[in-house]
Amino acid sequence: MFIQVEATDDPARLRFLPGQTVLERGTLDVHDAAGAARSPLATRLFGVEEVASLSLGPDYIEITKSGGEWPQLKPALLTIIMQHFLSKAPVLSAPPPAAGSLEADPAARVMEALRLVIDPELGYNIVDLGLVYDVSVADGAATISMTTTTRGCPATDYLRNGAHNAAEGIPGVTGVEVDLTYDPPWTPGMMSPEAKLHFGVTE
């Protein structure tokens, strides 16, 4: 996958062209991490500290930085964009379920939102990878118990922040706590049937 990068009239903003459709209709302007909750791609991009705002269009992603230099920032941004599109994850989250449906349960909705958090090393969502052990919501406070595939995983902070941001965007959730645990330690057997099929896990 080749992603073209274009300069704009603002030196703090770059345009990334992934060579495929980004949004089917219209544009989406995002100015903070809370606003990024509608889009798993935007949520991942806001995981880069220097990202100040971004705009998603029909075939482009424009990113405005708050600091740093583009030569140092571009590799991380290009990696996120490439991994997102290769994972086939949606650019926009599905609309919230109707009130009264089973999916309207806050814990269930948080769990569904966590499916939009993609492990950058495996390119698959953390729920089907079996990295999310438990989700509970009480009086608006969400608690997520999760793990990583290995201790000291370099993506630990990225995954924890991604889970926090995904849950924070759920209506009715007023606070989020992400507890990282290695008890029990993760094994490939914890993957969902779909993930096992994807990775060729036979156990």
Q: Which helix (H) or strand (E) holds 165?
A: helix 156-168
Q: What is the pLDDT of residue 101?
A: 46
**Could you give the percent of the chain with pLDDT greater than 90?**
55
Residue of higher predicted confidence among 94 and 132: 132
Number of domains comprising the chain: 2
Q: Are residues 58 and 134 in the same domain?
A: no
68, 50 Cβ separation under 8 angstroms: yes
Query: Which CATH number does the domain housing residue 176 bear?
Result: 3.30.300.130
Model pLDDT, residue 149: 94
- Per-residue confidence (pLDDT) for residue 102, from 0 to 100: 38
Q: Which residue has the higher pLDDT, 108 or 63?
A: 63
How high is the pLDDT of residue 52?
A: 93
Residue 175 belongs to some domain of the structure: yes
Shared-domain flag, residues 20 and 82: yes
Q: How many CA atoms lie within 13 A of 197 on its CB side?
A: 3
pLDDT at 8 over 70: yes
Q: Summarize pLDDT for 148-201 with one digit per residue, the tens.
A: 999 999 999 999 999 999 998 888 889 999 999 999 999 999 998 888 888 888
pLDDT for res 75: 92
Among residues 27, 53, 86, the one where a domain terminates is: 86
Dump pLDDT digits (tens) for 54-78.
999 999 999 999 999 999 999 999 9
CATH number at residue 16: 3.30.1370.70
Q: Has residue 94 been placed in a domain?
A: no
Are 45 and 54 spatial neighbours (Cβ–Cβ below 8 Å)? yes
Pair 65, 131 in one domain: no
Q: Which of 170, 160, 89, 104 is nearest to 131 (CA)?
A: 160
Please, which pLDDT band fits residue 105 given cuts at 50, 70 and 90?
A: confident
Does residue 47 form part of some domain?
Answer: yes
Which is it for strands 124-125 and 132-138: parallel, antiparallel or unpaired? unpaired
Q: The domain containing residue 13 runs over which residues? A: 4-86
Look at residues 86, 115, 140 and tell me which one is the last residue of a structural domain. Answer: 86
